[in-house]
């Protein structure tokens, strides 16, 4: 069964080779780009398959030589080679099984990060600001670029809502499991009696959609411009630089007023809109797949509480994998690798079980 699956992958790789040499495909930039990426994604496993087949072929040849060879010395050499080749088989089969775990095609994408204050009033807004700082610090550690697209601040230094673009290698693959409700337990700065309050904020991590992923018709958009509000100085607040885009078929509304330039604000708003619509399409596909299997693996469902940050105990607990770390202060400074690696390992193991 393993060999059948490997044969199927190698055949697919060869088909893509043929497709890419077709002049009609070669002259179509978008199609050519799509097929080239598909082929590149298969290259690593195809090289491993060929290495595996070479070992199996070597085993057959050595066995044949042992059966037919009359020279004892040659037989002994063949037996030594056979023993060495057989020892390599379990290792390479394990490597192939791991490589057969379906790769998330979105892993290489940049992300749109959305954080919104939930229950808890001003304290929830302060926690949302803490979360954004945490992810910004992590992005800095990873040498990623963070760009704020839109922000709605509260009067006490918190954030009601913030939308940012995070660009860099592996951004989605590292942060895709952060979507969900994050809960904080601490004594708010406004609390005089020292009581611990529980507040929450929601995090959404969307893969940044490109033109090749999703086509949006201009006729489906209503674009409004208006004067920006809030900080930014006279130049921002007295010109029609802020942009609001309504996607008429879905009723989805996106706005951006971060830049002095109306053109730049429209570009940013379109980036957010494209990513939200792309996620809607992905969710729809995921629901269809879910009907064919018992459980969804690694969807990063944001509806449930995923993590609790307990300040008095310097503790962070991820409820999905029952992981508790007593290093809250470090995690809030962007040291997320242990959490991220544990989540990735867990979901990879779940996918491997399905195979």
How far, in Å, CA of 54 to CA of 155, rounded?
A: 67
How far, in Å, CA of 97 to CA of 188, rounded?
A: 49
In the chain (355 residues long), the average pLDDT of successive 10-residue segments reads 84 90 83 86 90 93 89 88 92 84 82 93 94 98 94 89 94 94 89 84 89 77 80 53 89 86 86 87 68 36 76 96 96 97 87 70
pLDDT given at position 232 = 47
Give the burial class of 285: count Cβ atoms within 10 A of its Cβ; 0-12 exposed, 13-18 middle, 19 or more buried: exposed
Which residue spans of the chain are classified as CATH 3.30.70.1660? Answer: 111-212+303-354
pLDDT given at position 233 = 44
pLDDT given at position 131 = 98
pLDDT given at position 188 = 84
How far, in Å, CA of 126 to CA of 148, rounded?
A: 17
pLDDT given at position 69 = 82
Cβ–Cβ contacts within 10 Å for residue 207, how many? 23
Neighbouring C-alpha atoms within 13 Å toward the C-beta of 165: 21
How far, in Å, CA of 20 to CA of 27, rounded?
A: 10
How far, in Å, CA of 147 to CA of 271, rounded?
A: 12
pLDDT given at position 73 = 87
Which residue spans of the chain are classified as CATH 3.30.160.20? Answer: 218-290
What class is the 218-290 domain?
A: alpha beta
pLDDT given at position 100 = 82
Query: Which CATH topology does 2-100 take?
Result: Methane Monooxygenase Hydroxylase; Chain G, domain 1 (1.20.58)
Residue 286 contacts residue 249 (beta carbons within 8 Å): no
Q: Strand locations in the chain, DSSP E?
A: 111-117, 145-153, 159-167, 180-186, 197-207, 221-226, 242-247, 252-256, 305-310, 315-318, 323-325
Could you give the 3-state DSSP secondary structure of residue 34?
A: helix
How far, in Å, CA of 79 to CA of 85, rounded?
A: 10
pLDDT given at position 236 = 45
Pair of tokens at residue 279: 């996620």
pLDDT given at position 289 = 46
pLDDT given at position 288 = 57
Helix 29-68 vs helix 2-20: crossing angle, to nearest 10: 140
For 102-141, write each residue's pLDDT tens digit: 778 788 899 999 999 998 889 999 999 999 999 999 999 9
Query: Which CATH topology does 111-212+303-354 take?
Result: Alpha-Beta Plaits (3.30.70)
């Amino acid at each position: 069964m393993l060999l059948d699956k490997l044969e199927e992958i190698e055949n697919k790789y060869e088909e893509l080779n043929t497709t890419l040499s077709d002049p009609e495909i070669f002259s179509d930039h978008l199609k050519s780009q799509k097929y080239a990426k598909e082929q590149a994604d298969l290259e690593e496993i195809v090289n491993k398959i060929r290495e595996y087949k070479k070992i199996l072929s070597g085993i057959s040849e050595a066995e044949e030589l042992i059966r037919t060879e009359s020279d004892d010395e040659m037989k002994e050499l063949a037996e030594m080679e056979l023993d060495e080749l057989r020892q390599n088989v379990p290792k390479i089969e394990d490597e192939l099984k791991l490589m057969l775990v379906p790769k998330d095609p979105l892993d290489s994408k940049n992300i749109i990060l959305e954080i919104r204050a939930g229950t808890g009033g001003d304290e929830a807004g302060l926690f949302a600001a803490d979360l954004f700082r945490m992810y910004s610090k992590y992005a800095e550690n990873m040498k990623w670029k963070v760009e704020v697209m839109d922000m709605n601040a509260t009067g006490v230094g918190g954030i009601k809502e913030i939308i940012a673009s995070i660009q860099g290698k592996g951004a989605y693959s590292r942060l895709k499991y952060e979507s969900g409700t994050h809960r904080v337990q601490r004594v708010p700065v406004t609390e005089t009696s020292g009581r611990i309050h529980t507040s929450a904020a929601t995090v959404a991590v969307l893969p940044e959609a490109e033109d090749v992923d999703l086509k949006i018709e201009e006729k489906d958009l209503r674009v409004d411009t208006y004067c920006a509000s809030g900080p930014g100085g006279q130049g921002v607040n007295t010109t029609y630089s802020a942009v609001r885009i309504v996607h008429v078929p879905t009723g989805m509304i996106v706005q951006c007023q971060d830049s002095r330039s109306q053109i730049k604000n429209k570009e940013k708003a379109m980036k957010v809109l494209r990513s939200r619509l792309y996620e809607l399409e992905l969710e729809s596909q995921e629901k269809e797949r879910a009907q064919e299997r018992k459980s969804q693996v690694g969807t990063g469902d944001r509806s449930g509480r995923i993590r609790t940050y307990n300040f008095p105990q310097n503790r962070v607990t991820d409820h999905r994998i029952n992981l508790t770390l007593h290093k809250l202060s470090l995690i809030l400074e962007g040291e997320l690798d242990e959490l991220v690696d544990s989540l990735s390992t867990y979901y990879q193991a779940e996918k491997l079980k399905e195979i």
